[in-house]
Amino acid sequence: MLKITKSEIKLLTGIGVLILVVDILLMKYWVETIKPDPFISFTAKSYRPYIFIGNIIIGFFTFFVKKRISILFIANTIVCYLIFSFFWNSWIENHPYSQTNYHFKIKNRNLRLDISENPNTYGIYELNPNPTDSLKIIEMGMNEKKGDSIILKWWKQGENFEMYFYNNKLIGFPENPKEIELKKEE
């Protein structure tokens, strides 16, 4: 039976703490880069195999260099799962879904602009009085906050378009490019 000396215990503890700190930093950065969508949080399962396989590969290579250190990487597969799950759930809790609705009229048509956060999307819908088909999609895309305004971006046949939302006004709407006054739905 192999005995572990005190210096080896200190070395393994130091390496274990270093691996833990690196894991925390990498997992936090990774989740912030992914920016989980609260409606598709099941995708966390698709990232977990990368964590598992990455740690197993590192553990496999360190096994040939230093067998005792490879044990840390094998144990790290479980720790990484927990850290990743913690940051994933924290992101979703700290970035909840919210949506703000605005109404406006163009040529006797009732329209609604929905601006969502997490995910940053928007939609413009025509409100029809017919109860069987009450919403007609006019535009849908992504939104990006710039200072105190929001850029509404959409793509059509490979071409990019932009509108601007500022101070309850919509600017650049294709059917009426002038400023359109919006009323916030309470």
CA distance 171 to 164: 5
118 vs 170, residue with greater confidence:
170
- Which pLDDT tens digit goes with each residue over 8-41? 889 888 988 998 999 899 989 988 888 887 776 5
- Which pLDDT tens digit goes with each residue over 113-146? 999 988 889 999 998 766 666 778 888 999 999 9
pLDDT above 90 as % of the chain:
28
pLDDT value, residue 95: 83
The answer to whether 77 and 51 are in contact (CB under 8 A) is yes
Alpha helices, H only, the chain: 6-34, 44-65, 67-94
Separate counts of helices (H) and strands (E) for the chain: 3, 9
Look at the alpha carbons of 49, 50, 53, 56 in this order and tell me if their dihedral is positive or negative: negative
Give the chain's length: 186
pTM over 0.75: no
CA distance 84 to 23: 9
Residue 121 CB coordination number (10 Å)? 16
